[in-house]
Amino acid sequence: MAHLLEDKVVFVTGAARGQGREHAVRLAREGADIIAVDICAPVSDDVGYAAATRADLAETERLVRAQGRRIRAGVADVRDAAALREAVAAGVEHFGRLDVVVANAGIATWNRFWEMPEQQWTTLVDINLNGVWRTMSAAVPAMIDGGRGGSIIIVSSAAGVGAAPGCAHYAAAKHGLIGLARTAATELGAYGIRVNTINPGAVDTEMGNDPNVAAVLGQHPEYMNAYRMPLTSVQRADVGDISNAVLYLASDLSRAVTGSKVVVDMGQTMA
């Protein structure tokens, strides 16, 4: 039986572990070859969880190959447009095409906005918002030149749909991704390229287990109202829950879907 992404090529950022690794492996299981990048280094002292490493990225490579698919992986920072262009160019030269982009790379830090140093704000926005723009800018020309259409999946957040007290810069960036996706969907529709967002809530990853979350919410328990999840049978999504949504948007199952958001947040942002 044919896989949903048989012989497609997918570019995944932030692929060394967590959601990015799961997306790469899940799409490989469905027949895709993978171009993977990750910074594999700390980006800010404000981040409360350990950074991914080159060993993590090597494990992603191993897991993709275990699915019987090919992968080209390298170290690249989404703040470095030239590095992203080089990664895409090398991948397209090797695999011959590019069909899907999963713009996943991002960080989370915590603070009240008026108490936040400017560097904390600008670093996160440069990675989480500008980094997605750089990723798309690097990838879209190859997708257009391929003439086969394609799919761009932007990993936004429940914080891109509702309030996120304690991380206003994160919410601002993730809301910005919704606008970027909708506008890009309009601009790229003529080329058959769809653009959508995934909006996860709490996910069981290193970022999701950041101890700074408990510290900020413990100091300001009134913020917890913004993070309540009515679906109590699922305390926290796992990476597979998010990858299932990514697979839907990457495949032709969603061929009529663009400019939309798929919210996977256990009801956190339900109106």
Q: Is the pLDDT of residue 201 over 90?
A: yes
The reply to whether 206 falls in a domain is yes
Identify whether the C-beta of residue 270 lies closer than 8 Å to the C-beta of residue 21: no
* 96 closest CA partner among 168, 167, 147, 164: 147
The reply to whether 1 falls in a domain is no
Domain extent at residue 146: 9-264
Identify whether the C-beta of residue 200 lies closer than 8 Å to the C-beta of residue 157: yes
- Say how many residues make up the chain: 271
Query: Average model confidence (pLDDT) for the chain?
Result: 96
- Enter the pTM of the model: 0.96
1 falls in which pLDDT band (50, 70, 90)?
Answer: low
Q: Which of 52-61, 116-125, 212-221 has the lowest mean pLDDT?
A: 212-221
* 36 closest CA partner among 63, 67, 75: 75
The mean pLDDT of 12-19, rounded to a whole number, is 98
Q: Is 174 exposed, middle or buried (0-12, 13-18, 19+ CB in 10 A)?
A: buried
Q: Which residues are catalytic?
A: 170
- Reduced to 3 states (helix: H, G, I; strand: E, B; else coil), residue 237 is strand
Token readout for 163 is 């309030």
Instruction: Give the pLDDT confidence score for residue 235 in this predicted structure.
Output: 84
Q: What is the CA radius of gyration of the chain?
A: 18
114 falls in which pLDDT band (50, 70, 90)?
Answer: very high
User: CATH code at 124?
Assistant: 3.40.50.720
Identify whether the C-beta of residue 158 lies closer than 8 Å to the C-beta of residue 262: no
d(CA 24, CA 252): 18
For 159-194, how does the pLDDT look when each residue is reduced to its tens digit (9 = 90+)? 999 999 999 999 999 999 999 999 999 999 999 999
For 63-78, how does the pLDDT look when each residue is reduced to its tens digit (9 = 90+)? 999 999 999 999 999 9
Instruction: Give the pLDDT confidence score for residue 237 in this predicted structure.
Output: 94
Q: Which of 106-115, 184-193, 224-233 has the lowest mean pLDDT?
A: 224-233
For 245-255, how does the pLDDT look when each residue is reduced to its tens digit (9 = 90+)? 999 999 999 99
The reply to whether 243 falls in a domain is yes
Residue 130 DSSP code: I
Identify whether the C-beta of residue 185 lies closer than 8 Å to the C-beta of residue 196: yes
The reply to whether 4 falls in a domain is no
Which residue has tokens 């570019």? 11
The reply to whether 271 falls in a domain is no
- Count H helices, E strands: the chain? 8, 7
The mean pLDDT of 81-91, rounded to a whole number, is 98
Instruction: Give the pLDDT confidence score for residue 186 in this predicted structure.
Output: 98
Q: What is the number of structural domains in the chain?
A: 1
